[in-house]
Amino acid sequence: MLKEKKSEIIKNLAKELGFFLCGISKAEFMQQEAMHLEKWLALNYQGEMSYMANHYDKRTDPTLLVPGAKSVISLAYNYYHEKAQQDKDAPQLSMYAYGKDYHKVVRKKLNQLFTAIKAQFGDIYGRVFVDSAPVMERDWAKRSGLGWVGKNTLLIHPKKGSYFFLAEIILDLELQYDHAISDYCGTCTRCIDACPTDAISPQGYFMDGSKCISYLTIELKNRIPEEFQDKMNNWVFGCDICQQVCPWNKFAAPHTEADFLPVDGLLSMSKEEWHDISQPVFDTLFEGSAVKRAKYEGLRRNLEFLKKDH
């Protein structure tokens, strides 16, 4: 079977399972991306995310993750929705965190896709990844033509925006490869101007992860530095500011994934209910949610930090 036909079959299977973007690139050492990562790490922009410096070789060479790998299939899964919290003063969660943990939801779809690919093409070897190993998913997605890396360092698709999760299948099947697309950020600086902690460099395309509100509310395990007082914009888990102001997200359309719908009662919580949240309420409300990553103690720390802003 021709490589073109194999690629077409895989993309159709991905679409049937709900992935709204699928691109394929050659599994090879990522020289340019490796240099960018090296520079980013040298500036200590990873903060406490020490794991970003781990497995450097595997992070930049997929054949070390999957011996014999020939292709990287990059996939995108939509999580955009238009539902909003009723109390405008209530603490905010990043849009992706209102429903079930995407790692589990997308991984299930990914496993189904890989099973379907093996059913089509026989004995092939590969692995699936959903933000679960040293894989530079954004860069693979860029190589596969799923979008360009914007000034906010997120992947942006010209007809879909940026509210989507990325996932990969790295496998030893040779396929037809897609090409990267052009950068359409132009002279726009909305994301740079809007970031309250100045995490994005003045020129864009470079993010100081240790200043990002998502990092401060999720990855940072110690106290939030006082320098960020009055700059959190009421975010208690994650942050969407650089996506909210991005003009390309006017093309974002609501998802159709039931597991990503906000949990009952979450959007109706008042500011007071948020600040009074107890461990049992937290456990019930965020059962199976990505918010569990922060743990109750982490969420309480974030809420206490927000209290100081008022």
Task: Please answer whether residues 135 and 223 qualify as being in contact, where contact means their C-beta atoms are separated by less than 8 angstroms.
Answer: no
Count CB neighbours of 120 within 10 A.
Answer: 14
Q: Which residues, at least 6 apart from 199, have a Cβ–Cβ distance to it below 8 Å?
A: 207, 208, 209, 211, 212, 213
Helix (H) or strand (E) holding 140, with range, is: helix 137-143
Dist CA 216 CA 211 (whole Å): 7
Dist CA 94 CA 240 (whole Å): 6
Dist CA 172 CA 24 (whole Å): 13
Catalytic residue among 61, 87, 131, 183: 131
Dist CA 121 CA 46 (whole Å): 40
Task: Please answer whether residues 24 and 7 qualify as being in contact, where contact means their C-beta atoms are separated by less than 8 angstroms.
Answer: yes
Dist CA 295 CA 282 (whole Å): 9
The amino acid at residue 234 is N
The amino acid at residue 56 is Y
Closest CA to 237 of 90, 114, 107: 90
The structure tokens listed for 280 are 């049992």
| DSSP calls for 35-86 | HHHHHHHHTTTTTT-GGGGTTHHHHH-HHHHSTT--EEEEEEEE-------S
**178 assigned to active site:** no
- What's the gap between Cα 113 and its chain centre? 20
Closest CA to 309 of 237, 223, 229: 229
Question: Annotated catalytic sites, by residue?
Answer: 131
